[in-house]
């Protein structure tokens, strides 16, 4: 496995482990996900050993592998109705890496001019929550497009088991994901009325937002929610005004903040990094157990303020 692919793979493995240790994921579901990522019981044992988790029997792994997936919650606290008359939503397709990619587009009704925002999903794929984020952006006056990075294997909607989606995303190289996102960015730029473009991403997608910012010099503004830092050697390539949003309890991701900030300062990048007290990883996702309304509301207001300053006025 290449170093690029290993970084994404390890990120997903550690995220599942963190959810398990913090009581947000049942043991059987955690072990089932390790068997998926490891390609079976033997690979799962290797992953568990690397995480310092011992005492898992062959029988327990077999039971976990055969267990049905736990369904995710589909709706959240602040869903914008897809039928809201102030917005227009629908599917979009585009070609990248030799296959057809799927995406979800939301824009203000009426077809007028507006900035565009690429919305990059978590490691569960293009879920209803991410589509809702696109609609929220449309309500705020942006043309938002959320690509489905699971398109190569049929798209997120084909899989009831989000762990299989996560496994695919983790085992795909970051370079392939970024190539897909660059193609999506061109499609977004070509939408009628789009004036300038930015990006926002969450968790896994937050990390890809940082990576995309190092590759897409046409981005005017980006917002990364609790995403792992990019290759620090590439930080000087970032031209966008960058905002990083984090939870104070998210020790795994927060450990990378000091080095990232030093690199951003050295590069002269326009940036801000904000850490919210009392919030953990994925605090913005109102369909998940880590949702913290106060932090999510404040972070969303800061996101819109950032885009208003560096994207709407670009």
Which residue matches tokens 């592998």? 65
Give the CA distances from residue 71 to residues 36, 158, 181, 288, in Å, rounded to whole numbers and listed in that order.
16, 14, 28, 12
What letters, b where the CB count within 10 A reaches 16 and e where it falls short, cover 272-304? ebebbeebbbbbbbbbbebbbeebbeebbebbb
Q: How far apart are CA 155 and CA 126, in angstroms?
A: 8
Give all strands (DSSP E) within the chain, no chain letters: 87-96, 99-108, 114-120, 143-148, 194-202, 219-225, 241-247, 271-276
Report, as residue numbers or ranges, the catalytic residues: 203, 250, 281
Give the strand order in the sheet containing 143-148: 87-96, 99-108, 143-148, 114-120, 194-202, 219-225, 241-247, 271-276
Q: Contact, 114 vs 107, CB < 8 A?
A: yes
Q: How far is CA 42 from CA 20, 25, 29, 33, in A?
A: 20, 22, 17, 13
Q: How far apart are CA 191 and CA 92, in angstroms?
A: 10
């Amino acid at each position: 496995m290449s170093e690029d692919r290993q970084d994404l793979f390890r990120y997903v493995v550690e995220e599942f482990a963190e959810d398990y240790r913090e009581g947000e994921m049942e043991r059987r579901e955690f072990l089932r996900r390790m068997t998926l990522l490891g390609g079976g019981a033997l690979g799962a044992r290797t992953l568990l050993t690397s995480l310092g988790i011992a005492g898992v029997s062959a029988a327990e792994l077999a039971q976990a592998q055969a267990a049905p997936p736990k369904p995710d919650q589909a709706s959240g606290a602040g869903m914008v109705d897809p039928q809201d008359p102030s917005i227009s939503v629908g599917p979009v397709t585009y070609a990248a890496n030799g296959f057809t990619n799927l995406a979800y587009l939301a824009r203000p009704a009426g077809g007028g001019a507006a900035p565009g925002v690429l919305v990059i999903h978590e490691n569960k794929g293009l879920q209803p929550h991410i589509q809702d984020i696109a609609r929220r952006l449309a309500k705020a006056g942006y043309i938002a497009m959320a690509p489905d990075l699971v398109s190569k294997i049929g798209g997120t909607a084909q899989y009831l088991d989000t762990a299989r989606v996560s496994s695919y995303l983790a085992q795909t190289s970051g370079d392939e994901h970024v190539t897909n996102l660059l193609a999506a960015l061109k499609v977004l730029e070509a939408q009628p009325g789009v004036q300038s473009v930015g990006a926002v991403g969450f968790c896994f997608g937050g990390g890809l937002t940082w990576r995309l910012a190092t590759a897409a010099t046409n981005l005017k503004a980006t917002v990364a929610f609790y995403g792992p830092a990019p290759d620090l050697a590439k930080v000087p390539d970032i031209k966008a005004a960058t905002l990083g949003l984090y939870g104070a309890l998210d020790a795994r991701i927060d450990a990378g903040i000091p080095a990232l900030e030093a690199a951003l300062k050295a590069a002269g990048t326009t940036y801000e990094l904000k850490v919210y007290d009392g919030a953990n990883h994925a605090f913005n996702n109102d369909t998940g157990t880590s949702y913290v309304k106060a932090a999510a509301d404040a972070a969303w207001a800061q996101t819109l303020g950032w885009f208003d300053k560096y994207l709407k006025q670009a």
